[in-house]
Chains A and B, each alone.
Chain A
Amino acid sequence: MAEGQGKSSGSGHTAADGGAKGGFPPFQKETFASQLVSFFLAFALLYFIVSKIALPRVANLLGTRQGMIENDLAQAQKFKDESDTALAAYEKELADARARAQAIGAETREKLAAQSEGERKSLEDSLAAKLAEAEKTIAQTRQTAMSNVGAIASEAAAAIVQRLTGAQPDARTVESAVNASIKG
């Protein structure tokens, strides 16, 4: 932009003047030495402060925080592991208890089934015995009744024969005839 101007003004420098007059300021050569000296002093100071104080400090801060976070994460992981083991133990306990309950249930069911089976059998047995006894009674009664039937039939036959013939039939003959007819 104004390089020519700057070059021309560069030679006519006087120490008394700070160099603000004439030319484009960034190209005023008489200001270069002052700026360079200030710049190197300032930058050296900055470099010293940054490398010796500021950066180690911030690095330390970040490191502390990182360490804290890692520590906390490790702790959280530990707690999680602990709770996982506790959960596993609880689940195992629960499964065991369930298995035990099932075993008890099955046992009880079997026992009850066996008991009721026994009761049923004994009931059936007693019923069968009663049935047999009843059948025997029926058979006896029928036999008695049958023998009574024979006697009644003989008497009735004898009475009928007497009425028809007027003669008293032989009791033994009537009886055999009745018996034969009942059997026939």
Chain B
Amino acid sequence: MADPIHQFEIQKIFSLGHIGGQEIAFTNSSAFMFGAVALISALMIGGTAGRHLIPTRIQSTAELSYEFVADTLRSSVGEEGMKFFPFVFSLFMFILTANLIGIVPYTFTVTSHLIVTLALALMVFLTVLLYGIYKNGFKFFKLFVPHGIPIYIMPLIMVIEVISFLSRPVSHSVRLFANMLAGHITLKVFAGFVTSLSALGALGIFGAVLPLLMTTALTGLELLVAFLQAYVFTILTCIYLNDALHPGH
């Protein structure tokens, strides 16, 4: 049976050099990252090349993604959050495209690697932290001091708030990583059943129908998960950005 882990392997394509003894290579993951960027650029720039007043399907998709992210950001952060629009839009489109590419057989899922989702989450975390302090100064730490809490349980609440704030990048990144990883392993395992069962002969081919149906259904589910996880990551980013802009709860 095919190894369900094989799809996550990083394969070096060519070497770019060394940083502190570590080899920096252009890998299959790099290729799919730049592929995602190319795909997004094609959609957003190529798709809108016609500048149709009545949009074509591709232009409509580009406009729809623009308005979807803009509405999400505006509804949770407000108008002043729009300065983060390019950042949030890049995050959403990068994750969504990487997730969707990953569903295609024989491709690599960039977001199934914790280091990538962690980098995404840390970018959000640092943006929130640095911008929050830059914008609000010391008042940013009011984030950890909710209103209307009796003074004698305040230290406890503050500890909890700080821990929850610091654990944000962990939950933010692991959620996306684990969803993509688990979905792809499940898909691969069921698809593996199809091949190994059908290799057994006529009865095996008959028996392979069930895992094939399962694989088909799971692919549909994975499409949903791909979109949903990109959306969840984006909306959480918006909520965290809201904290940076309005730390007073």
Q: Given that A26-B113, A43-B94 are known contacts, is A50 also in contact with B10, CB under 8 Å in the complex?
A: no
DSSP class of A's interface residues: helix, strand, loop or mixed? helix
Question: What is the distance, in angstroms, from A51's C-beta to the closest C-beta of chain B?
Answer: 3
Asked whether B119 lies within 8 Å of A39 as measured between CB atoms, the reply is yes
Interface size class of B (residues with CB under 8 A): 35 or more
Give CA–CA (A50, B85) in the complex, Å.
Answer: 10
Give CA–CA (A54, B94) in the complex, Å.
Answer: 14
**What A residues does B12 contact at CB under 8 A?**
17-20, 34
Chain A interface: which of B59-67, B145-153, B235-243? Answer: B59-67
The verdict on B19 contacting chain A, using a C-beta distance below 8 Å, is yes
Across the interface, B94 reaches (CB within 8 A) one of A19, A36, A46, namely A46
Q: List 26 A-B contacts (CB under 8 A).
A: A15-B21, A19-B10, A19-B12, A20-B11, A20-B12, A25-B8, A25-B10, A26-B112, A30-B22, A31-B29, A33-B23, A34-B16, A34-B24, A37-B24, A39-B33, A47-B87, A50-B89, A50-B93, A51-B86, A54-B41, A54-B45, A54-B48, A55-B66, A55-B89, A59-B66, A61-B63
Asked whether B90 lies within 8 Å of A18 as measured between CB atoms, the reply is no
Across the interface, B16 reaches (CB within 8 A) one of A28, A37, A51, namely A37
Q: Which of A17, A57, A68 is packed against the most chain B CB atoms within 10 Å? A: A57
A residues near B, CB below 8 A? 15, 17-20, 24-28, 30-40, 42-43, 45-47, 49-51, 53-55, 57-59, 61-62, 64-65, 68
Asked whether B66 lies within 8 Å of A33 as measured between CB atoms, the reply is no
Q: Which of B53-99 contact A (CB under 8 A)?
A: 53, 55, 59, 62-63, 66-67, 85-87, 89-90, 93-94
Asked whether B114 lies within 8 Å of A27 as measured between CB atoms, the reply is yes
The 10 closest A-B pairs by CB, nearest first: A18-B12, A51-B86, A38-B30, A54-B44, A42-B33, A25-B8, A15-B23, A31-B10, A33-B22, A58-B66
Across the two chains, which residue of chain B brings its CB closest to A27? B114
Q: Which of B59, B113, B181 is packed against the most chain A CB atoms within 10 Å? A: B113
Q: Which of B7-39 contact A (CB under 8 A)?
A: 8-12, 16, 18-19, 21-27, 29-30, 33-34, 36-37
The verdict on B162 contacting chain A, using a C-beta distance below 8 Å, is no
Asked whether B10 lies within 8 Å of A15 as measured between CB atoms, the reply is no
